[in-house]
A and B are shown apart, each in its own frame.
Chain A
């Protein structure tokens, strides 16, 4: 029993060591050499475009369902659908926008990152990068980090916008809230700190996704089956870590008054 726990702790520590080695190496090449601008651009387009449609749909329906639930609850409590705009706005901008977008990006782009790097790893293409004078961290990992960290916050902005729009549709067309009330609710109660709160978290989530997915890709073993396993592991690990990081980051940000 103790041996079992011991082995697992040991494994986790070893893993953590290798992850931090990858991050260290990424910083090293970021400072020491020129950025692979073409690769970075390509990844940015891929991650951004691949996830945009799903992000918009997810957030639109989330905003709609938020408005529906909060509106009908308020209706039964106060006989009037009050503060729908506030509830939709707050929950989206501070929590659901960043988290759901991060989930979408994990599923669309993160999985692809692991699958692609993992396939390159098992067919020795990663080693070939080494022998042809570039470093896989520099060529594969850094562009994906940058692409994730630029694109995820941008996508989150889209998600917030479309989520609030979805809430608007349901409130105004379905619940009979006046369009003026909804918009002024959103505008007066949401302030810059709320946006900062969500924005900062989406940076962290992007970092988590890039780290997990690149790491799993680079450490893929055992052919096609290994690539499949690594991809699944990436998605599951990223999602759990996003929720964990979300809690701790939120509590720190809240205590700082953001």
Chain B
């Protein structure tokens, strides 16, 4: 399980996360929603160790990973995680096949002779066939995203952090990605955190949903609670209304009573 307590993170003067506590149980799916720029990506980057939080605890399998300073031990822990980048982050010096196989070499003990089979299998999972020899620059935006997802799935991680898995995909593909996430949970007991703006995906796949706003947690509850809550901010966001307590201001996003939610 992943248990994050009172996580704080600033970029210079910009206080992005102001003390967020969220947890996911083993084999469950948590979705994180919230306006653009509230620190959702920052939050999961802290979990996987791409960013160092200023304070707070991140407990994974009973270990507080913020307390580990040995590069090697951190690397070993990271091997349990898969991370889908918002922009894909495919290696553009390699072919699609090499991209998908990359993690197999470093994260697993799978023999090299099996790579080809696994790569084809994972690409098929995301609806792609026979594109192993293409270059990332030759793919469409949605295809890149799916190749990137195949690369995450290839080493069969125990935890998967998805940063907007369905953005840039058509509704049918998006739906099938939703099923894929559920399938991984059912068959392989994968624990997932899914960042998304797609409420129908969030309702479909989540055991719990967390909403962030202005660097604070607004609500952490089941999809049912999200559907029925009277919390004005959640209602505005989930129902997609321009009017409400969350104000869009030209420079970014400000919330009334920002610090005392």
Contacts and interface: CB of A to CB of B under 8 A. Distances in A.
A132 B103 contact: yes
Of the listed residues B45, B89, B92, the one surrounded by the most CB atoms of chain A closer than 10 A to its CB is B89
A124 B106 contact: no
A131 B72 contact: no
Contacts of A134: 106
A29 B71 CA distance: 9
A130 B50 CA distance: 8
A251 interface: no
Contact of A127 (B85, B103, B107): B85
A124 B49 contact: no
Given A131-B50, A131-B82, A125 B89 contact: yes
B40 to A, nearest CB: 15
Given A131-B48, A131-B81, A132-B151, A123 B89 contact: yes
Nearest to B106: A133
A49 interface: no
**Secondary structure call for the A interface:** helix
Interface in A114-130: 116, 120, 123-125, 127-128, 130
Contacts of A25: 71
B50 A125 contact: no
Contact of B92 (A32, A125, A132, A133): A125
Contacts of B103: 132-133
Q: Indicate the size class of the contact surface on chain A.
A: 10 to 19
Given A130-B49, A132-B107, A133-B107, A124 B78 contact: no
B102 interface: yes
A25 B69 CA distance: 12
A194 to B, nearest CB: 41
Contacts of B92: 123, 125
Interface in A125-184: 125, 127-128, 130-135
A11 interface: no
B85 A133 contact: no
A120 B136 CA distance: 13
A96 B255 CA distance: 64
B18 interface: no
A236 B89 CA distance: 30
Interface string B93-106: 10000000011001
**Secondary structure call for the B interface:** mixed
Nearest to A131: B83
A28 B74 CA distance: 14
Interface in A19-48: 25, 28-29, 32
A131 B107 CA distance: 10
Contacts of A28: 71
Interface in B106-126: 106-107
Nearest to B103: A132
B91 A125 contact: yes
A124 B85 contact: yes
A132 B94 CA distance: 15
Contacts of A120: 91
Contacts of B50: 127, 130-131
Contacts of B91: 120, 125, 128
A133 B49 CA distance: 12
Contacts of B78: 130-131, 133
A56 B50 CA distance: 44
B89 A127 contact: yes
B254 interface: no
B235 interface: no
A135 B75 contact: yes
Contacts of A128: 83, 85, 89-91
A133 B87 contact: no
A124 B71 contact: no
Contact of A133 (B71, B79, B89, B90): B79
B155 interface: yes
Contacts of A32: 72
Given A28-B71, A130-B78, A133-B75, A123 B87 contact: yes
A124 B87 contact: yes
Contacts of A133: 75, 78-79, 103, 106-107, 155
A131 B78 CA distance: 7
A142 to B, nearest CB: 13
Contact of A132 (B72, B93, B106): B106
The 5 A-B residue pairs with the shortest CB-CB distance, nearest first, are: A133-B106, A124-B89, A131-B83, A133-B107, A128-B89
12 contacts: A123-B87, A127-B45, A127-B89, A128-B85, A128-B89, A131-B50, A132-B102, A132-B103, A132-B107, A132-B151, A133-B79, A133-B103
Given A131-B85, A135-B71, 7 more contacts: A116-B93, A128-B83, A130-B78, A131-B48, A131-B81, A131-B83, A132-B107
